């Protein structure tokens, strides 16, 4: 009986020791999955950050970035960049949101770039009221698909899509530019959509 108890005690100690050694073994960290968001979602994060810099910060540009893990074909992106101006401070500052760890992508979260001088007379930096931004990038993509985008992707399914948002002074409207290609300059198709109403404006090939 004494021998049996001793054997059982040794067995229990062995099991406990095995559990302890397994639980103390270093666990390899699992890579965090990439996050893909629409333009409005990213813009809200960037807008809050910009107002930490300047209370009167107003946006004048929002753009997505094509990454190896996100080609923009669902109207979302892993990286969004926005530029803001402070009329009072006469300065501009770029902000970026990233949700990926792929090479060449900014670090995850919100970061900012170098502050520069703001010229309110510059047509390329016309600020806009965020109240005009009612249509999201994925909704703009649906409109673009109906005006040439779907036909283009049927021929070239791997064509990346990126988005630009800015204010048009001549027409006094906020516009989503949906580009089918790697950049503005080599885009095979550009479809412009009113960011307030969702109405199709034009398509440029």
pLDDT tens by residue, 60-92:
999 999 999 999 999 999 999 999 999 999 999
| pLDDT > 50? residue 6 | no
If one compares 137 and 185, the residue with the highest pLDDT of the two is: 137
Whether 5 is in a domain gets the answer: no
- According to DSSP, the residues that pair with 166 across neighbouring strands are 175
Residue 21 placed within a domain: no
Domain presence at residue 13: no
- Confirm if 130 and 150 have CB atoms less than 8 A apart: no
Stretch 164-182: mean pLDDT:
96
Average pLDDT, the chain: 89
Gap between the Cα atoms of 136 and 42, Å rounded: 11
Contact 72, 162 (CB under 8 A): yes
Q: pLDDT band at 185, cuts 50/70/90?
A: confident
Dist CA 149 CA 200 (whole Å): 13
Is residue 21 pLDDT above 80, yes or no?
Answer: no
- State whether residue 118 is helix, strand or coil: coil
Distance CA(143)–CA(194), nearest Å, equals: 10
User: Where residue 31 falls among pLDDT bands split at 50, 70, 90?
Assistant: confident
Spatial contact of 180 and 188, defined as CB atoms under 8 Å apart: yes
Give the Cα separation of 4 and 139 in Å (integer).
74
Residue 200's domain comprises 39-204
The CA distance from 177 to 65, in Å, is 13
What proportion of the chain, given as a percentage, has pLDDT over 90? 79
CB 137 within 8 A of CB 63: no
The answer to whether residue 8 is domain-embedded is no
Residue with tokens 């923009």: 72
The number of folded domains in the chain is 1
Whether 95 maps to a domain, the answer reads yes
3, pLDDT greater than 50? no
> What distance in Å separates the CA atoms of residue 53 and residue 47, rounded to the nearest whole number?
10
Q: How confident is the model at residue 30 (pLDDT cuts 50, 70, 90)?
A: confident
Residues 77, 150, 135, 111, Cα dihedral to 10° = 10
- Residue 17: band (very low, low, confident or very high) from pLDDT cuts 50, 70, 90: very low
Encoding tokens for residue 52? Answer: 């930490």
* pLDDT computed for residue 92 by the predictor: 98
In a domain, 12, yes or no: no
For 102, 175, 186, the CA distances from 200, given in Å and listed in that order, are: 34, 10, 22
Closest C-alpha among 136, 179, 137 to residue 160: 179
Q: Which of 30-34, 119-123, 147-151 has the lowest mean pLDDT?
A: 30-34
Domain contains 79: yes
Structural domain contains residue 22: no
């Amino acid at each position: 009986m004494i021998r049996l108890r001793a054997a059982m005690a040794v067995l229990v100690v062995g099991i406990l020791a095995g559990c302890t050694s397994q639980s103390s073994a270093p666990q390899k960290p699992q890579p965090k999955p990439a996050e893909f968001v629409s333009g409005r979602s990213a813009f809200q994060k960037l807008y809050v950050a910009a107002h930490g810099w300047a209370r009167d910060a107003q946006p004048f540009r929002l753009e997505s970035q094509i990454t190896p893990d996100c080609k923009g074909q669902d109207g979302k992106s892993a990286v969004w960049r926005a530029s803001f101006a402070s009329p009072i401070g006469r300065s501009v500052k770029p902000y970026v949101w990233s949700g990926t760890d792929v090479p060449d992508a900014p670090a995850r979260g919100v970061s900012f770039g170098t502050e520069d001088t703001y010229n309110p007379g510059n047509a390329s930096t016309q600020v806009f009221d965020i109240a005009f931004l009612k249509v999201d990038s994925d909704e703009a993509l649906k409109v673009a698909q109906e005006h040439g985008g779907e036909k283009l992707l049927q021929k070239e399914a791997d064509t990346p899509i990126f988005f630009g948002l800015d204010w048009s002074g001549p027409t006094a409207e906020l516009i989503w530019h949906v580009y089918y290609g790697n950049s503005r300059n080599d885009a095979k198709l550009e479809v412009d959509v009113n960011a307030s109403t969702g109405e199709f404006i034009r398509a440029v090939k």
